[in-house]
Amino acid sequence: MATQTEWEGAVAGKAVLITGASKGIGAAAARLFADKGAKLGLAGRPSRELEAVAEETGAELLVCDVSEAGAVDAAVKAMVARHGGLDVLINNAGTIDPIVRIEEADPAAWARQIDVNLNGVFYGMRAALPVMRAAGGGTILTVGSGAAYNPLEGWSGYCASKAGAMMLTRAAHLEAGDVVRVLSLSPGTVATGMQAAIRASGVNPVSQLDWSMHVPPEWPARALLWMCSADADDWRGAEVSLREASIRQRLGLPG
């Protein structure tokens, strides 16, 4: 097992592309990875929040809607053009909307959730894998969820899309795991705007959790950094759960 000092240098000088970095886990990861010396690109739809994170971290802002394959392809190509390759892709972009029972769901809104949470992961993998194969290696991380394994009222689209994203991790590992490191992170409940929306919905037990139960977004950001190192290789093709005390201890986080 590597020391924290060793794995904290995992992204120094590496070209890293993060989707959905305007807030929450993505923004925390951008700050941490920039601090650790990554050559950073932030892919997302235009917003003042995303611009602020890019300015703060010195990252390149790449206008990109992850639900559009061409936009994701363009973001990866921009990283290659600027940095000569892509070492790490973090599929972080996601949406909890709509929170609604199946029979009441608007088909377009439900499909949009699948487009972002599932198709966006597929588009990222599809664009990054050939680049990483040609370079002889790379890392693809996806921010997953415990919702991939447990159905929750009002979350049919979220649960289905996260389950699909987990299967994509396994499929990509099967097809490319001899060259590319592919892992997923289940961060638990995190104190972000998404949790605020969940709380406001009042739907299912997750909305009833006390705010103190949620971990800060800096915790999953730290987990993602560790997952970029060989120290996390036992989880290739699988999911790291930040709920596990052993993982938190490994990352130097409170148990």
User: Where are the chain's structural domains?
Assistant: 4-246
* Size of the chain in residues: 255
DSSP three-state, residue 42: strand
CB 65 within 8 A of CB 19: no
CATH of 4-246, one of 3.40.50.720, 3.30.420.40, 2.40.10.480, 2.60.120.10: 3.40.50.720
Phi, psi of 184 (to 5 degrees): -125, 150
Side-chain half-sphere exposure of 238, counting CA atoms within 13 A: 7
Tens of pLDDT along the chain (255 residues) come to: 666 678 999 999 999 999 999 999 999 999 999 999 999 999 999 999 999 999 999 999 999 999 999 999 999 999 999 999 999 999 999 999 999 999 999 999 999 999 999 999 999 999 999 999 999 999 999 999 999 999 999 999 999 999 999 999 999 999 999 999 999 999 998 888 888 888 888 888 888 888 777 899 999 999 999 999 999 999 999 999 999 999 999 999 997
Give the active site residues.
158
Confidence (pLDDT) at 225: 98
